[in-house]
Amino acid sequence: MTGTETAPDELFTYEFFQDPQSFQAALRAEAPARPVVTPNGFRVWLVTRYEEAKAVLADPTVQKNSAGMNAVSAKNRTVEGEGRPFADELNQHMLAMDPPDHTRLRRLVTKAFTARRIEQMRPRIEEITAELLAKLTAGDQVDLLDVFAFPLPITVISELLGVDDEDREAFRRNSNTIISSAGPEEVGAAGRWMVGYFMKLVADKRANPGDDLLSALIETSEDSDRFSEQELVSMAFLLLIAGHETTVNLIGNGVLALLTNPEQLARLKADPSLMPGAVEEFLRFRSPVNMSTFRFTTEPVVVGDVTIPAESLVLVGLGSANRDEDRFEHADQLDITRPVGGHLAFGHGIHYCLGAPLARLEGEIAFRGLLAAFPDLKLAVEPSELQWRISVLVHGLEKLPVIL
Ligand code: HEM
């Protein structure tokens, strides 16, 4: 396990994905940022320490717009060919924009995605949780991701957007492919499937509006400003991917953290009022989004004693920053009572997670429901047998076998 002496194209090995925390600790010890090569062949600067991560996320010269991103990506490609073709129709969303475009879209979506709409979801999230748990039997061995951690957030985000039940499995497959390190053909095909689906969905909602978020987004307007068709398709795509690929890992990683720290589990069971803080600690301890989405520099950026050149791709190590000992004491220990404010699991700056309140609400309801229904929950395998997904962005398990 080495840091800068690892060649840039040797960091993202199978071993890295199985234990990113240890690799990232070595990287932090050596430099606040270093070049790496992603599994699909892009040269990227990876920022690893907390203060520097936060500064880069707030730096307006470090940008995300898709035109700039395409140009800088082309310059930083290490392999021949097209790179990773991605449906342009899905790129008109705010996570691929800078101000003022980002500001405009974020303002519009915030008008529809209100705190009230989320709080109104509480009884429904409790109901979905109870329904999922009612199908399970104490003493059985199950993959908790499959029976609980995945279906809960996907049902919530699908209902929120107005996506039908029968389409959810196809969504899971295609969205998994998009964020995996699969080849360009596979990722391209999954992207095209998404575009087709969302174009039809937006057309359906336009014709028959419901009380779902997508219908609200179609209706939203401000000073005669509205979402364009492509912006709607991209926004729906962004919300669905974000709702799919993140909260599942908050639940999975959080359960694993508790089952491998029995004294913390006992404290939480004894005092459920610790739950909101525990959820924050799970987010910090095993951040579901290990690295931010890609950014690029428009000027040289000074990161501690390192300068990232202009026109470089950048990844911010959110999971790494959240284990930085300079910011969090005993960062490698799970402590559900620590004052955990300031973790970067939801990002920082203008792209701070729009869905954070929803994710927190889902997390709290899920953990509370699960621990109440199955107080003897335990791992069915040794922790060392668990496999982590091969994904640069997301840190989540392939399966979580437990005995209920
Ligand atoms: C535990 C669950 C979640 C985690 C850890 C998470 C994490 C993040 C992170 C780290 C970012 C910033 C990425 C970057 O700057 O590169 C982000 C942005 C975003 N997230 Fe989440 N997220 C979660 C759940 C959700 C949910 C449930 C939704 C939607 C319902 C959502 C919607 C979004 C959106 C729309 C953005 C882009 C915001 C912008 O560009 O202004 N997220 N999320």
pLDDT reported for residue 168 = 80
- The arithmetic mean of pLDDT across residues 66-81, rounded, is 88
Question: Does ligand 1 have an atom closer than 6 angstroms to the CB of 157?
Answer: yes
pLDDT digits (tens, 9 = 90+) for 29-52: 999 999 999 988 899 999 999 999
pLDDT reported for residue 1 = 45
- The arithmetic mean of pLDDT across residues 335-361, rounded, is 95
Long-range (24+ apart) CB contacts under 8 A made by 185-194 are 187/84, 187/85, 187/86, 188/85, 188/86, 188/87, 191/85, 191/86, 191/87, 191/90, 192/87, 194/87, 194/90, 194/237
Q: In angstroms, rounded to a whole number, what is the distance separating the alpha carbons of residues 316 and 319? A: 9
pLDDT digits (tens, 9 = 90+) for 122-170: 999 999 999 999 999 999 999 999 999 999 998 999 888 888 888 888 8
Residue of the CA atom closest to atom 17 of ligand 1: 353
The reply to whether ipTM tops 0.90 is yes
- pTM value? 0.94
Nearest atom in ligand 1 to 294's CA:
16
Nearest atom in ligand 1 to 109's CA:
35
pLDDT reported for residue 2 = 44
pLDDT reported for residue 378 = 97
Poorest-pLDDT segment among 104-108, 347-351, 397-401: 104-108
pLDDT reported for residue 40 = 82
Of 344, 345, 377, the residue nearest 148 (C-alpha): 377
pLDDT reported for residue 113 = 86
pLDDT digits (tens, 9 = 90+) for 266-293: 999 999 999 999 999 999 999 999 999 9
pLDDT reported for residue 385 = 96
**Region of 347 on the Ramachandran plot (φ > 0 left; ψ -120 to 50 alpha; else beta):** left
pLDDT reported for residue 166 = 84
CATH number belonging to domain 14-403: 1.10.630.10
Question: Does ligand 1 have an atom closer than 6 angstroms to the CB of 238?
Answer: yes
Q: What percent of the chain stands above pLDDT 70?
A: 96
CA of 243 to the centre of ligand 1 (A): 8
pLDDT at 90 over 80: no
pLDDT digits (tens, 9 = 90+) for 179-203: 776 777 888 888 889 889 989 999 9
